[in-house]
Amino acid sequence: MPELVQKASSDVEKGAVIETDPPADTTVEKGSTVKLIVSKGPEKIKVPDGLVGMSSEDAQKVLEEVGLRGVIKTRNSSKAQGTVIATDPKPGAELEKGGSVTLFVPKEQREVPSVIGLTQQDATAQLKGAGFKVKVSQQPAQEPEGTVVQQNPGEGTKLLPGTTITITVSTGPQDTAPPPTDDQPTDDFPTDDQPTDDFPTDEEEPPTDNPIGDEGLGGGLHGDGWRNR
């Protein structure tokens, strides 16, 4: 009579007979037990615990020892560089032998380069080339217009790729001259309120030809003095 025995196999489909014991074509007594070795599919291996917190090199060694393979990927994290911060699948999950486990480690931080003194265009290109984003602000400064005069964070700071760096760009020296006004200069012409030359007007009486008066000196030429002569 047959006896079923399951065995993991990556070559034989699950449920199919892999082999018999005793092997085929062997002569046995009637009623003897024959073992049927049936495939239960590929061997399953659990993802081991303790991978998180290991270095990526140590975690890969542990996976290899149990018949799995580690694949390194990066993600943004403030944790120590080179340290496993998560796995996919999680510990305890079953995988076929030879399956892959993703080991996530923090992205490598990069140093911020100095861009002070560069043009806005050159500074932006250098920061983006280093993997950073760029934000631009402007302010008056003694440096020529378009020159980077400040950056934040500063040179040498280690940051994750994709972090935004703010650069301050000069708009040129500040104009200290007084602002123009809307008042326009006018010629100094006399107005109706200013004094004018003393010409007679229609309201003034012109002087008479005889300023002394009709009587003259002693009565005038036609006075009594003349008539008495």
104-136 pLDDT per residue, tens? 999 888 999 999 999 999 999 999 999 999 999
* Amino acid residing at 63: L
- Angstrom distance (rounded) from CA 59 to CA 76: 19
pLDDT tens column, 145-173: 999 999 999 999 989 888 999 999 999 99
pTM of model > 0.85: no
Q: Band the pLDDT of 196: cuts 50, 70, 90.
A: low
* pLDDT value at residue 85: 96
Burial, 81: exposed, middle or buried (Cβ in 10 Å; 0-12, 13-18, 19+)? middle
Give the residue, 197 or 167, on which the prediction is more confident: 167
* pLDDT value at residue 226: 43
Closest CA to 92 of 145, 32, 49, 143: 49
Q: Band the pLDDT of 48: cuts 50, 70, 90.
A: very high
* pLDDT value at residue 189: 52
Q: Band the pLDDT of 143: cuts 50, 70, 90.
A: very high
Q: Band the pLDDT of 224: cuts 50, 70, 90.
A: very low
If one counts every other C-beta atom within 10 angstroms of the C-beta of residue 58, the result is 15
* pLDDT value at residue 216: 47
* Amino acid residing at 107: K
* Amino acid residing at 102: T
pLDDT tens column, 198-215: 545 555 555 555 544 544
* pLDDT value at residue 144: 94
Q: Band the pLDDT of 102: cuts 50, 70, 90.
A: very high
Q: Band the pLDDT of 191: cuts 50, 70, 90.
A: low
Region for 221 from its dihedrals, namely left if φ exceeds 0, alpha if ψ lies in -120 to 50, beta otherwise: alpha
